[in-house]
Amino acid sequence: MTRFAAPIAESIWDMKYRFKKSDGTAIDKTVEDSWRRIARSLATVEKDPEHWEEVFFSALEDFKFLPAGRITAGAGTERSVTMFNCFVMGTIPDSMGGIFDMLKEAALTMQQGGGIGYDFSTIRPRGADVKGVAADASGPLSFMDVWDAMCRTIMSAGSRRGAMMATMRCDHPDVEDFITAKSDSARLRMFNLSVLVTDVFMEAVKADGSWDLQFDGKVYHTVKARDLWNKIMRATYDYAEPGVIFIDRINQANNLSYCEQIAATNPCGEQPLPPYGACLLGSINLARLVKDPFEKDAALDDEALTELVATAVRMMDNVVDASRFPLEQQAQEALAKRRIGLGVTGLADALLMVGQRYGSDEAAAQTERWLHAIARAAYRASVQLAKEKGAFPLFDADAFLASGTMKAMDEDVRAEIAEHGIRNALLTSIAPTGTISLYAGNVSSGIEPVFAYAYTRKVLQKDGSRTEEEVVDYAVQMWREKFGDKDLPDYFVNAQTLAPLEHVKMQAAAQKWVDSSISKTINCPEDISFEGFKDVYMEAFETGCKGCTTYRPNDVTGSVLSVSETSDKAPEADQGADVIYMADPLDRPQTLEGMTYKLKWPDSEHAIYLTVNDIMVGDRRMPFEVFINSKNMEHFAWTVALTRMISAVFRRGGDVSFVVEELKAVFDPRGGAWIQGKYIPSILAAIGGVLERHMVSIGVIEAEGLGLKSDPQAQVVNLDQPRGPACPSCGQFDMRMVEGCMICASCGHSKCSG
């Protein structure tokens, strides 16, 4: 019997969380070994480690408590990596030396696997005077380009590239350039961008007032607040960035407002942090805690939830002591405040199991009750830890209890804190859980709705073949096991069928009892009007959200996997949840047969040699790869590019004769050449002719000039069915925007660090 609810869960564990030697030999033989490794590691700081190891193991068992990936992969391995997911770096000084000191710190942090956030508002604007050198400042965006280049060169732990968040205040003189930076598709690819929006600015937007853009007391420009807001909205409408962070709300609510000021977040936005702030993450799997799912009396097990939360808080508090830190300042900050970020996953599945429609008023109220219960249990558990181990060093009872969040806390909990203190300054956060949710059996991610009831995943086998497997949402699978082929109830909804304001409603309901913030994507239809789109952000502000991230599929952001529904079909009848692929890349055998052709272009000193290797597909021989070589270094760059592009097309299989047609159509404005009695318009056309002759020789094309098609892709891709962007890790077209992060539903690859 396996503990895994789905094959994809075991694959994720094996690829990402299973402890292995450097040569790939597995040390964790089973997932129980992984749970034991984590439990034992986090119990070592306890006075009775054997007792707590068993308690921790029980919490991890059956995926009830899911520590974030860095803890799951790193605990007990003795590897030099941090188990903290989130960092905000130190305040960037407005000096060249200080800026590059910060760049070095960022590199060291990403090297150990941390995702980082930076506020670039502290750098003087472009064109400002630089005293002493008679020059103008280049501005914060120029230095962001340097950070971006650095990030591309740093491979973080677990072979994942670093992720970064850049923020800028809404009153910085360069904010308009910041807003439009991602309109250049090649710029700042390693950054997520968010504008720090203040309450005063939002009031100016609503009043259509003026707005000063200033730095260090000097006003550089005055604009209309509403025009600036529309510019932010238009950029995120078209390019999905920048996000919006309601920074005043974050600082007012912060339990530590008496001793820190926040101006940045981690890459996915769920952790607003002070300079050198660090936070670790973990999630309660609500889908595992529902009693009698889909029955009339289905309900969350309150007693089990309270007990599990208390254990999770203790485990995460222990991580503060057990983890390494890239920088000493980060260690000091973490130990002084002992911040943790306990969240949830499987919320949408749990709602389905108790008969609630995600996005409804009832589901929002249920979400608020569940998150209240978690917050209450977490704070009480932290009080008990304070009685046992001491409060966090910077605890000040009066100031702590006067913060915005604590004013709303239950009076009995406030009284306990006043009497005994509290171990952790902040306790709750809802982080991206895409990968660990797949690991837990494809439960719904975080507080997101179910993305798709099912989809097809193609799996590479050891013999090189590919098989297909259905990946089914955890709640849907449970329904099938219980009721067979019975239609899903009408309260089963998904991310694409929900109205954007229903997403906002659920985020706002959860935010009331989350002392940090929430990583969530509000899915918007491509045809949403610009005014309707702006309403989403204004509603997020008015209903108490700390930030807002949307995703509207379009030609720039890319289409996403969608669930197509019509009014006369029940959800169970959906056929659009499968991924629609172009032909998958063929796997390369150890040896291939091929031929090499010599091409001599007139007036060229050196010949070009083309090697075309073939592969057997069924009983047909098909071109698989091309190598183009020449001693003429003028040809080097384009021959390498052509080699890679043509080979990439060939490896997709199918009808590839269009490559010949496209190449033969290229003409050189300087004139072509006569070769063997034929006029060839360009050297590229000559290469196309060589490929054509090869295809004729192996039977792909009947004869020269015959059998070419103008659009062979039209037979491979069903253009009526949107698909996700290709995953850079596994190649499948199943990248989706979930919780503010692009994640592959087939292999768990995430574009965010964490």
For the stretch 612-654, pLDDT in tens is: 998 887 777 888 889 888 776 666 777 888 888 888 888 877 7
Helix-, strand-, coil-residue percentages of the chain, each rounded to 5:
40, 20, 40
First to last CA, the chain: 31
Distance in angstroms (rounded) separating the CA atoms of residues 544 and 321: 34
Average pLDDT estimate for 36-45? 96
Query: Residues with catalytic annotation?
Result: 266, 268, 270
Across 267-276, 605-614, 625-634, which has the greatest mean pLDDT?
Answer: 267-276
pLDDT of residue 717: 31
In the chain, the percentage of residues whose pLDDT exceeds 70 is 87
Residue 473 carries which side chain, given as an amino acid letter?
D
Average pLDDT estimate for 437-463? 87
Distance in angstroms (rounded) separating the CA atoms of residues 40 and 49: 8
Q: Which of 8-22, 274-288, 345-359, 416-430 has the lowest mean pLDDT?
A: 8-22
Distance in angstroms (rounded) separating the CA atoms of residues 154 and 199: 37
Owner of token pair 């485990």:
315
Owner of token pair 């501005």:
139
Decide the pairing of beta strands 290-291 and 299-300: antiparallel
The count of C-alpha atoms lying within 13 angstroms of the C-alpha of 293, restricted to the half-sphere facing its C-beta, is: 21
pLDDT of residue 187: 86
Distance in angstroms (rounded) separating the CA atoms of residues 149 and 469: 39
Structure tokens at 248: 């005043």
pLDDT of residue 80: 72
Q: Is the pLDDT of residue 710 over 50?
A: no
Average per-residue pLDDT for the chain: 87
pLDDT of residue 568: 35
CA distances for 346 relative to 22, 66, 310, 362, 478, angstroms: 33, 11, 19, 17, 13
- Domain ranges in the chain are 593-715
Decide the pairing of beta strands 278-285 and 65-67: antiparallel
Which H or E run includes 99? helix 96-111
pLDDT of residue 293: 97
pLDDT of residue 617: 78
pLDDT of residue 607: 82
Q: Which of 8-22, 78-92, 168-182, 454-468 has the lowest mean pLDDT?
A: 454-468
Q: Is the pLDDT of residue 101 over 70?
A: yes
Distance in angstroms (rounded) separating the CA atoms of residues 104 and 123: 17
Distance in angstroms (rounded) separating the CA atoms of residues 564 and 407: 45
Residue 385 carries which side chain, given as an amino acid letter?
L
The count of C-alpha atoms lying within 13 angstroms of the C-alpha of 741, restricted to the half-sphere facing its C-beta, is: 30
How many C-beta atoms lie closer than 10 Å to residue 137's C-beta? 18
Q: Which of 35-44, 221-230, 367-376, 577-586 has the lowest mean pLDDT?
A: 577-586
Distance in angstroms (rounded) separating the CA atoms of residues 30 and 2: 9
Nearest Cα residue to 157 out of 223, 243, 71, 228: 71
pLDDT tens-place string over residues 208-253: 999 999 999 999 999 999 999 999 999 999 988 999 999 999 999 9
Average pLDDT estimate for 716-740? 61
pLDDT of residue 415: 98
- Model confidence at 713, in pLDDT bands (50, 70, 90)? very low
pLDDT of residue 574: 37
Q: Is the pLDDT of residue 14 over 50?
A: yes
CA dihedral 22, 23, 27, 31 (to 10 degrees): 90
pLDDT of residue 679: 75
- Model confidence at 720, in pLDDT bands (50, 70, 90)? very low
pLDDT tens-place string over residues 393-429: 999 999 999 999 999 999 999 999 999 999 999 999 9
Q: Cα angle vertex 681, ends 678, 687, to 5°?
A: 85
Q: Is the pLDDT of residue 481 over 90?
A: yes
Nearest Cα residue to 140 out of 201, 196, 200: 196
pLDDT tens-place string over residues 348-384: 999 999 999 999 999 999 999 999 999 999 999 999 9
- Model confidence at 554, in pLDDT bands (50, 70, 90)? confident
Average pLDDT estimate for 299-328? 96
Please give the model's pTM, rounded to 2 decimal places: 0.79
pLDDT of residue 721: 37
Cβ neighbours of residue 165 closer than 8 Å, sequence gap 6 or more: 115, 116, 117, 118, 191, 192, 193, 194, 264, 265, 266, 267, 268, 269
For 249, left (φ over 0), alpha (ψ -120 to 50), or beta? alpha
